[in-house]
Structure 1
Amino acid sequence: MSSPLKILVVEDEYITQKTITVYLTEMGYDVVGTAMNSEEAIEILQSHTIEFALLDITIQGDKNGIWLADYIQQHFNIPHVFLTAYSDNDTIRQALATNPYGYLIKPFQKAELFSAIEIAVQNYNKTLSAIQKPKDDFLFIKHNEVFEKVFLNEVEYIESQKNYLLIVTAEKTFRHRSTITDFINRLPDNFLKTHKGFIVNLNKIKSFGNNYIIIGQHKIPISKTYKEEISQKLNDFISKG
């Protein structure tokens, strides 16, 4: 089941923290926790599922936002974006050393926060694509302008629409900006291209014929180009099953 991105906000100015939380909630994101310092943030990270962190660099306590970002980098596989009123070279150099997915200078508007999250998530997805694919691989995919975590084992099939893909699950259909060639390289071995415009999840196949595959109520075409390969893979899949 997919759900809106779960976000941690670390900001020690109460009004700014409240404003960011309101912005994120209005966008449709799930603000799981807010913290004034690194200790509070770590407690939230350890006790809740967090998928994204917004980190003010200058926060209460001895351990600043850069220290916290480094801690997150070492212990949690989640992207972070820095919030700061400082844009001097030394601050930027220290911040970049933690491999952030974005850097937002205060004061900022809601639209700028929205864009920073979108760019960060897209870059994070690209990073995931370079990692060896685990069994429960996932992507953050936008739905109604909000990124949601979608596990690939829930995807039934994918349909190409030029520079966009329709990623179909039993629950929702996501519209994701990517080409089918780029996206298939991101998928585990149980995904199979049946046509220049379609990819199917072998685990979701209900039945199949010479020229089609049935998944749920959907009939997915099999083109001549992929027919022999599909036949072999389906036979292999059935024998393993």
Structure 2
Amino acid sequence: MENLRKLSVLVVEDEALIAENLRLTLEDLGYHVIATCYTYAEAQAALAPPAPVPDLVLLDINLGHADPARTGLALGRQLAGQGGPPFIFLTAYSDLDTVRQATQLRPSGYLVKPVSSGALFAAIQLALDRATTHQPAPLPAEVLPAAASSDIGPAFFFVKLGERTHKLSWTAVQRLEAGKNYVTLHLAGQQAGYPVRGSLTYVLDQLLPASLSDHFIRVNRRLVLNAACITGYDEAYVGSSQETKKIAR
């Protein structure tokens, strides 16, 4: 049975504080950051063979460079032209000319800085979904005003099984189990889980779509079960189809 692997992300952001915050947030969300690049040249080197190809690129739209040939737009144009990995444009700008140029490159998403962890997680999942279906992101005018505050995620998320990326429904998660610093999402038929740094409350409130909250039942402070997996209960125990023994409340 193949184990879950972390999806890889390349961060291209010229502001060091923002780049480091993105790296930490991505790692907390269970992604593998293969590199953090601060310039166009560094990003080109990180994307050139024999460097591993990331599953996704987070790309600052400006990169703090006056030369139009060395901006995030230029790098996005290169990725789009060469059939590179999907990319999400990061922007702190409301400049319509820049946004119009960005739409022509058919990015898989847009995010307005600063970015919350919930919005980042949702944007990555939607970007991967658009990449697999060859659909561009909606026009920025439709998504940028809400992107900075929206923490409502899609009803699915992507994981890597071996070398293949798979789209899974949140309802495929059979249990969420909290450790010291992480919550592990356990999936049917997989020995390894999908780790997310944080508390159960954080995962349930920030990452799990609100429309699916009724599908999951918190048994105790460390465990949440998919209601579809519960086989029975009484005053002291809850039985789960995923466990060989009853789970104490």
TM-score (norm 2): 0.53
SS of match in other structure, 1:20: helix
Match of 1:52 among 42, 51, 56: 56
Query: What residue is the counterpart of 1:235 in the other structure?
Result: none
Query: What residue is the counterpart of 1:35 in the other structure?
Result: 37
> Larger Rg: 1 or 2?
1
Shift of 1:107: 1.8
- Going from structure 1 to structure 2, the CA distance change for 1:152 and 1:82 (only over 3 Å counts) comes to closer
Q: Structure 2 unaligned segments of length 5 or more: list them.
A: 136-155, 174-186, 195-249
Whole-angstrom CA distance in 1 between matches of 2:157 and 2:113: 23
Query: What residue is the counterpart of 2:112 in the other structure?
Result: 105
CA RMSD of aligned residues (A): 3.4
- Going from structure 1 to structure 2, the CA distance change for 1:171 and 1:43 (only over 3 Å counts) comes to farther
1:7, 1:50 within 8 Å by CA — same for their partners in 2? yes
Shift of 1:108: 2.0
2:12, 2:58 within 8 Å by CA — same for their partners in 1? yes
Whole-angstrom CA distance in 2 between matches of 1:153 and 1:27: 19
- Going from structure 1 to structure 2, the CA distance change for 1:146 and 1:24 (only over 3 Å counts) comes to farther
- Going from structure 1 to structure 2, the CA distance change for 1:170 and 1:21 (only over 3 Å counts) comes to closer
- Going from structure 1 to structure 2, the CA distance change for 1:108 and 1:15 (only over 3 Å counts) comes to same
Whole-angstrom CA distance in 2 between matches of 1:79 and 1:65: 14
Shift of 1:96: 0.8
Query: What residue is the counterpart of 1:114 in the other structure?
Result: 121
Shift of 1:149: 3.2
- Going from structure 1 to structure 2, the CA distance change for 1:78 and 1:168 (only over 3 Å counts) comes to farther
| Bigger relative contact order, structure 1 or 2 (CA pairs below 8 A, ≥6 apart) | 2
Q: Structure 1 unaligned segments of length 5 or more: list them.
A: 129-144, 156-160, 175-241
Letter in 1 for 2:58: L
Whole-angstrom CA distance in 1 between matches of 2:91 and 2:193: 36
1:6, 1:50 within 8 Å by CA — same for their partners in 2? yes
Whole-angstrom CA distance in 1 between matches of 2:117 and 2:71: 24
Is residue 2:18 matched to residue 1:16?
yes
- Going from structure 1 to structure 2, the CA distance change for 1:173 and 1:108 (only over 3 Å counts) comes to closer
Shift of 1:76: 4.0
Residue range with higher mean Cα deviation, 21-30 or 119-128 = 119-128
SS of match in other structure, 1:120: helix
SS of match in other structure, 2:134: helix
TM-score (norm 1): 0.55
**Which 4+ stretches in 1 moved above 6 angstroms?**
151-155, 163-174
Aligned identity (percent) is 32
- Going from structure 1 to structure 2, the CA distance change for 1:153 and 1:10 (only over 3 Å counts) comes to closer
Whole-angstrom CA distance in 1 between matches of 2:47 and 2:7: 14
The alignment covers a number of residue pairs equal to: 154
